Amino acid sequence: MLFRKPRPSTGITVTYGSVVALNDVTADVRDGELTAVIGNGSAGKSTFLRCLAGLESPGSRPGRNTILVAGTRQLAPERTVAECLPGTDDPAWRERILAIAGLGGKLDRTAGSLGEFDRRSLAIARALCTRPGLLAVDLPGSAALFAMLARYVRELGCTIVFAAREAAAARPADRAILLDLGDQVGDLARPTRRAVARRLDRASRTPSISWMKGGHAGRQPRKLLPVHI
């Protein structure tokens, strides 16, 4: 996988027994860009992000200081927002992160008292305070969260990759990597919701999923099919 522009992409395959979670996926994750990894449940999004962080496949190459944010459990509920954030030798960097996250006026609040969106924002801010070379975000998203990630990239020059199910998540992204049951079915620069939805509709092996409506709410999630190699 590409973390610096001069390097060639390398296909990644991850299997669990006879099940292929990622099937020779090659994708460009470029410095200073916001990349969306979009696909339905069991598409391989989380596995892809874990590969970026070097946690999943011995063949994956983590980028410099890559951090994966995959939940909010690391936030001790009794600690304040200020206490949850690591120290930094650049107070201005931390202040800019807090301003983008909307947490500047909530430093004395405990993590447990925050709403779900603010907890997710705090988990991301906590990771960014360490200035990772690449941040991978595997959290339930919303338009506001995706827009916040885009601000980090535009205003701070961060490199961020996030997972999403909704085609609309492509709007703020510089690039969209599209996955379906472990297969890479698209890699779009300057993606639009319509372009992502059309590509996923054509490639999806579950025709009932409506990507134009942003996912499969109210429908049974698709199971990961065993693929023999």
List all residues 6 or more positions away from 154 whose beta carbon is below 8 Å from its beta carbon.
Answer: none
Same domain, 136 and 206: yes
> Sign of torsion, CA 149 151 154 157?
negative
Q: What pLDDT score was predicted for residue 103?
A: 96
Same domain, 38 and 86: no
Same domain, 211 and 144: yes
Same domain, 122 and 143: no
Same domain, 142 and 206: yes
Same domain, 103 and 179: no
Q: What is the pLDDT along the chain (229 residues), one digit of tens a residue?
A: 443 333 344 578 888 888 888 888 887 789 999 999 999 888 999 989 988 888 875 455 555 588 999 999 989 999 999 999 998 888 999 999 999 999 999 999 999 999 999 999 999 999 999 999 999 999 998 999 999 999 999 999 999 999 999 999 999 999 999 999 889 999 999 999 999 999 998 887 754 444 444 433 333 333 333 332 2
- Examine residue 225 and state whether it is found in any structural domain, yes or no: no
pTM assigned to the model: 0.81
Tokens of 55: 């946690």
Reduced to 3 states (helix: H, G, I; strand: E, B; else coil), residue 131 is coil
Same domain, 98 and 170: no
- Examine residue 203 and state whether it is found in any structural domain, yes or no: yes
Closest CA to 156 of 129, 176, 120, 137: 129
Same domain, 170 and 209: yes
H-type alpha helices, the chain: 45-52, 81-84, 91-101, 116-128, 143-156, 193-203
Per the document, the length of the chain is 229
Count of domains observed in the chain: 2
List all residues 6 or more positions away from 182 whose beta carbon is below 8 Å from its beta carbon.
Answer: 20, 21, 22, 23, 25, 43, 44, 47, 224, 227
Q: What pLDDT score was predicted for residue 82?
A: 95
Q: What pLDDT score was predicted for residue 215?
A: 39
What whole-number distance in Å separates Cα of residue 181 and Cα of residue 222? 9
Q: What pLDDT score was predicted for residue 219?
A: 31
Same domain, 201 and 164: yes
Q: What pLDDT score was predicted for residue 5?
A: 38
Containing structural domain, residue 109: 72-127
Same domain, 58 and 167: yes
Same domain, 59 and 142: yes
Q: What pLDDT score was predicted for residue 80?
A: 97
> Which single residue is written with the structure tokens 């609040």?
109
Last residue of a domain, one of 89, 111, 127: 127
What whole-number distance in Å separates Cα of residue 206 and Cα of residue 222? 8
What whole-number distance in Å separates Cα of residue 75 and Cα of residue 78? 9
